[in-house]
Amino acid sequence: MPRSSPTVAAVDGERRELRLAGGGALSYDALVVAVGARRRAGLDGAHTFVSEDDDDGTQWIVRELELRQVRSIAFVVPPESGWSLPLYELALMTAHHAAARGVGDIALTLVTHEPEPLAVVGGDAGATLRRLLGLADVRVLAGRRATAWERRTVALDPPDPEGPLVVDRVVTLPRLSGPAIDGLPADEHGFIEVDDHMRVPGLPGVYAVGDATTFPIKQGGLAAQQAELAAALISRHAGPEPSRWVRLRAVLLTGSRPLYLQALIEDGRPKASSVAEEPPWDPPQKIAARYLAPYLAAWSDAGT
């Protein structure tokens, strides 16, 4: 039987030790915290769409539409989601599948707290997404929070001037919160505070990467870049101080041909973006990273 990994209860930066939940401690010279975020339901009563691999979370939508059991669906992006692209994909693919199966007279609505769809990318990529949603007849209510869903009515803040949003089903992304590890500085949501180089302030030799941190975008490719940066700094071969921007790469599944999005992000804000029909990076993995993408491609080719 495999041994279970120890659970970290706290970090003692002064002693450079990890306090373990079951007792005892582990010392470290350098520490990289990559424990991810905690997920919880996005909206009471709604279906929380966990990931692109949530097969049951996508198939039931098309089945109910085909059987005419539902005629309207709202897709909700909560403020604490961290990365909204999967829900935009789900809305587009739902519209595509419904049209391909001759299911008409349906109403698909996307509610997002963002000022516009995928605002964190913006530019050409964001404009392309808005165009695709329009072509798919997905109504977009941007700059709004869904606060409740009762008796088929989605409560919005601020309200929609066109009237109440009444739907048969609601699909939402999960809300994320940080790990809140004792001894690591964190914000009010438990996310570990980091600087531009993923260093944890006040704790020499401690880094944090990925969804556990205060970096506002929670995306696999960016997390891999953060891990590479931490590894370079630890090995003392980082060279010049890294720039404040990172390159975000993402594949947008549309239901037909995928699109490849790229954006430069600085301090969590978009600086420029582009969209292409052919993959501008190789291998064209959905998680684009220098080391992780080739590994995933080889792992997939091996049929593992």
Task: Tell me whether residue 278 is in a domain.
Answer: no
Q: Measure CA of the first residue to CA of the last residue in the chain; give whole Å.
A: 22
On whether both 15 and 81 belong to a single domain, the answer is: no
Q: Give mean pLDDT, residues 56-61.
A: 70
pLDDT tens digits along 203-251: 999 999 999 999 999 998 889 888 988 988 888 755 555 555 678 888 9
Do 50 and 95 share a domain, yes or no?
yes
- 17 pLDDT above the threshold of 90: yes
Domain that holds residue 110: 39-176
Q: Which residues touch 133 (CB under 8 Å, ≥6 apart)?
A: 88, 91, 92, 110, 117, 140
Same domain assignment for residues 189 and 170: no
Q: Are residues 172 and 187 in the same domain?
A: no
275: amino acid identity, one letter? V
Q: Is residue 264 part of a domain?
A: no
Number of domains in the chain: 2
Percentage above 90 pLDDT, the chain: 49
Q: Tell whether 152 and 220 lie within a shared domain.
A: no
- Tell me, yes or no, whether 137 and 57 share the same domain: yes
When mean pLDDT is compared over 11-15, 58-62, 244-248, 293-297, the highest value belongs to 11-15
* pLDDT grade for 302, boundaries at 50, 70 and 90: low
pLDDT at 49: 87
DSSP code string of 179-220: ---BTS-B-TTSPBP--TTSBPTT-TTEEE-GGGBS-S---H
Quick one: pLDDT band at residue 2, thresholds 50, 70, 90?
Answer: very low
Longest C-alpha distance within the chain, in Å?
65
Residue 55 pLDDT exceeds 70 = no
Please state whether the peptide bond connecting residue 270 to the residue before it is cis, i.e. omega within 30 degrees of 0.
Answer: no
Report the C-alpha gap between 136 and 134 in whole angstroms: 5
Q: How confident is the model at residue 105 (pLDDT cuts 50, 70, 90)?
A: confident
Q: Are 131 and 215 part of one and the same domain?
A: no
211 — phi, psi (to 5°)? -65, -15
Let me know the angle formed at the C-alpha of 97 by 82 and 68, rounded to the nearest 5 degrees. Answer: 105
Instruction: Classify residue 295: in a domain, yes or no.
Output: no
pLDDT grade for 31, boundaries at 50, 70 and 90: very high
Supply 73's token pair. Answer: 């669906």
pLDDT mean across residues, the chain: 87
**Residue 134's pLDDT is what?**
95
CATH number of the domain enclosing 225? 3.50.50.60
Secondary structure (3-state) at 10 = strand
What confidence score (pLDDT) does residue 51 get? 56
pLDDT tops 70 at residue 84: yes
Q: Are the C-beta atoms of residues 205 and 31 closer than 8 Å to each other?
A: yes
Q: Which of 143, 176, 209 is the last residue of a domain?
A: 176
pLDDT at 303 over 90: no
- What's the average model confidence in pLDDT over 42-63? 74
pLDDT, position 103? 87
Whole-number Å distance between alpha carbons of 147 and 142: 14
Asked whether residue 45 is assigned to any structural domain, the reply reads yes
Q: Are residues 135 and 190 in the same domain?
A: no
Looking at the chain, the whole-number percentage of residues with pLDDT higher than 70 is 89
Single residue among 197, 217, 242 that ends a domain in this structure: 242
Tokens 């509610």 identify what position? 111
Residue 1 in any domain: the answer is: no
Tell me which DSSP letter residue 241 carries: P
If one counts every other C-beta atom within 10 angstroms of the C-beta of residue 166, the result is 13
In this structure, the dihedral spanned by the alpha carbons of residues 222, 172, 41 and 45, taken in order and rounded to 10 degrees, is: 180
217 and 126 in one domain?
no
The 3-state DSSP class for residue 274 equals: strand
| Shared-domain flag, residues 160 and 77 | yes
Residue 150 β-bridge partners: 153
pLDDT at 1: 41
